Structure 1
């Protein structure tokens, strides 16, 4: 499951993006990947591990909703919830 969000540039600020990806790992757990940065520039990748799919999906929704409140807009989604 993946969602791509962008924050449109304002004034002299460049456009920013955030990509959230929820996927199973090789050991039966789940990982939430958060890639963020400036469009066309450097990026940062953070990874969180979860044992239960419910916890992982809850963290995914919480991260997505927090960024929507900060002014990001969803530009692309793929996949279905892993429930």
Structure 2
């Protein structure tokens, strides 16, 4: 599953983005990967490990909701069970 969130451009600066995606690992767990930064600029990547898909999904939705409160908008969603 993958989500791309972006802020509306304000002034001459490039808009900021947050990309969230879940990756299964080889031991049956899941990794939540968060990439954030300015479009066309530097970005940072953070990873969190989870034992099961349900807890990883809950964490992704929690981060998504936090970013929506900060003014980001969902631009792209990919995955069979993508959150609404």
Instruction: Provide TM-score, normalisation by structure 1.
Output: 0.91
**Residues 2-41 of structure 1, C-alpha deviations (whole Å, 9 max, x = no match):** 0000001213443000000012111110000000000000
Which runs of at least 4 in structure 1 moved beyond 4 Å after TM superposition? none
8 Å CA contact 2:14–2:40 kept in 1: the answer is: no
SS of 1:8's equivalent in the other structure is coil
| Inter-partner Cα distance in structure 1 for 2:80 and 2:62 | 16
8 Å CA contact 1:33–1:45 kept in 2: the answer is: yes
- State how many pairs are aligned: 82
Match of 2:21 in 1: 21
Note the aligned Cα RMSD (angstroms): 1.4
| Inter-partner Cα distance in structure 2 for 1:81 and 1:58 | 13
Match of 1:33 in 2: 33
- 1:25-64 equivalences under 5 Å are 25-64=25-64
Structure 2: unaligned runs, 5 residues or longer: none
